[in-house]
Copies of this chain bind each other. A is one copy, B any other.
Amino acid sequence: MELKLADYKSDLAPDWCPGCGDYGILSALQMALYKLKIEPSRAVLVSGIGCSAKTVHYAATYGIHTLHGRPLPVAQGVKLANPELSVIAMAGDGDGMGIGAGHFIGAGRRNPDLLYLIFNNAVYGMTKGQASPTLELGAQPKSLARPNIQNKVNPLMLAFAAGFTFIARGYAYDVKKLAHLMELGLRHRGLAMIDVLQPCPTYNNLHTREWFAPRIYDVAAEGYDPLVPREMSDEERAERMGRFTTKAGEWGERIPTGVFWQAQLPSFEERLGEYLPGYPADAPASRPPGGEAERVSALMRGHRVAQ
C-alpha cells in the first residue's frame, strides 16, 4: 500500500496555542518521515515534558512521552534494543538544555544513530514562560518579573563540544526547509541534532515571527559546506572548527540556519557490534527466545571449583 502524508497524522487535535511554532515542527517531521517512506510503525518518537513534548501524540507512529529531561536516554534505550527502528528524540529547550543537559553530553560521546530535535522557544512554555537556557542575558519576555540574569547556552556549540556528528538549525515557520533538514538528519548515520527556532507567541513576545523573518538565512545559500572529511590535516581541522564556531556563534542581525557540521564517525551501535557477538543484527529486542540455560551454563563454567 502506498504511504500517504496523512498516514503520519494521528486522530488527536493538538492543543497548542494558536500560532505556536510547534505546529510547524510537527508538520515538518511528518513530511520528512513521509519523504523517506519510513513505515509509521517503524518510527518511534520520544519526547520529554513540555508543550513540545505533546508532539508525539499527534503523529501516527509509536510515541513515547517520557519525563522532563529524559527523552535522550529513553530514545537510546529503544534504539539500542532495536537498532532497526528510526528513533527521533525531541526536547524543549528547558527539557534538553536545562534538566537534560547532562544526557546531551552523554549522548554526544556515544553517537547513537538518532535524530534529536530541540524545540527552542527560549521559554518554559508549559510552566508559564520562565526563562529557558536559550534566553539571552538581559532579555525580558512579558512572562518574566525581571530581566533574565542568566546567560544563554548555544545548542550548536554545545553539540559540537559534546561530539554530535550532525549539527543543524531550522526555523519552525519555514516548514519545508525544516522538513528537508530533518530528512538529512534522519539519513545521517549517527547522532544528529537540529536546533529548531520555535516561536511561542503566548509567552515569548521578543522572538516573534516578525522578529525572526528578516534575520533568518540559510548558510548553504552562502556556500557554507558542513561536510567534515574523515581525514584532515591539523590546519584543515583548525580552519573548519573556526568556521563552524563563527557561524554557530552568529546571532542578532542575522541568524543562520542549515547544516553546520556533519562528520562521519562510527555510530555507537557499530562500536558495540565490535564487542557484542551478532550485534546489531541480533539485538536484545529482536533476539528469538531461548538459549538462556546455555548462556548461564557458559558463565557457570568460569566459576567451577575444578574444571
Contact = CB atoms under 8 A, between A and B. Distances in A.
Nearest to A152: B109
A179 to B, nearest CB: 28
B238 A242 contact: yes
A152 B162 CA distance: 8
A154 B161 contact: yes
Given A153-B163, A154-B161, A160-B157, A101 B111 contact: no
Contacts of A238: 242, 245-246, 249
Which residue among A106, A108, A146 has the maximum number of chain B CB atoms within 10 Å of its CB?
A106
Contact of A242 (B99, B150, B245, B275): B245
Contact of A151 (B109, B137, B246): B109
Contacts of A249: 237-238, 241
A71 to B, nearest CB: 14
Contact of A246 (B98, B102, B242, B272): B242
A100, A153, A237, A243: which has the most chain B beta carbons within 10 Å? Answer: A153
Interface in A187-226: none
A126 interface: no
Contact of A157 (B111, B133, B146, B161): B161
B153 A105 contact: yes
Contact of A101 (B105, B160, B243): B105
5 contacts: A105-B158, A109-B152, A153-B162, A154-B161, A241-B246
